[in-house]
């Protein structure tokens, strides 16, 4: 496997298919938070929601670092893009939850 095709996060398929019924990882929960933010958002916007993640991961003493790493994972999965080096991001269409079809 070449380095160019290697994706270190083994739940990327779950992220692309929308959130699982019960989020299984910090990245799943982070994606759910990103979906509640405007299409263009800032790192500070995500930090303001850190308390939502801290409820599920109370022993994580480096939540801001985990958020930054999670955003990089979402970027690598093609779900968000970094707009600049000042903490601005854009949610991409792949990050939108699947639409429910009318019966």
Confidence category of residue 24, pLDDT binned at 50, 70, 90: confident
Residue 55 lies in a domain: yes
pLDDT for 103: 62
Tokens describing residue 98: 């699947």
Residue 32 lies in a domain: yes
Cα–Cα dist 46/55, whole Å: 15
Q: What is the pTM of this model?
A: 0.74
Cα–Cα dist 66/62, whole Å: 6
CB atoms within 10 A of CB 15: 22
Confidence category of residue 10, pLDDT binned at 50, 70, 90: very low
Q: Domain span at residue 54?
A: 3-95
Domains identified in the chain, total number: 1
Residue 103 lies in a domain: no
Residue 100 lies in a domain: no
Confidence category of residue 23, pLDDT binned at 50, 70, 90: low
Condensed to tens digits (0 to 9), the pLDDT of residues 25-70 reads 899 999 999 999 999 999 999 999 999 999 999 999 999 999 999 9
Q: For 20, which DSSP code?
A: -
| pLDDT of 7 higher than 60 | no
Residue 102 lies in a domain: no
Residue 101 lies in a domain: no
CB atoms within 10 A of CB 25: 18
**CATH number of the structural domain spanning residue 17:** 1.10.10.10
Residue 27 lies in a domain: yes
Residue 41 lies in a domain: yes
| Residue 45 burial class via C-beta count within 10 angstroms: exposed 0-12, middle 13-18, buried 19 and up | middle
Cα–Cα dist 87/93, whole Å: 20
């Amino acid at each position: 496997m070449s380095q160019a095709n290697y994706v270190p996060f083994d739940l990327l398929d779950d992220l692309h298919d929308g959130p699982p019924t019960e989020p299984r990882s910090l990245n799943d929960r982070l994606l759910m938070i990103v979906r509640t933010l405007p299409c263009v958002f800032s790192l500070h916007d995500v930090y303001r929601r850190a308390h939502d993640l801290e409820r599920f991961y109370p022993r994580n003493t480096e939540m801001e670092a985990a958020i930054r790493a999670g955003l990089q994972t979402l970027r690598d999965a093609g779900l968000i893009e970094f707009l600049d080096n000042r903490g601005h991001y854009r949610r991409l269409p792949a990050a939108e939850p699947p639409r429910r079809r009318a019966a």
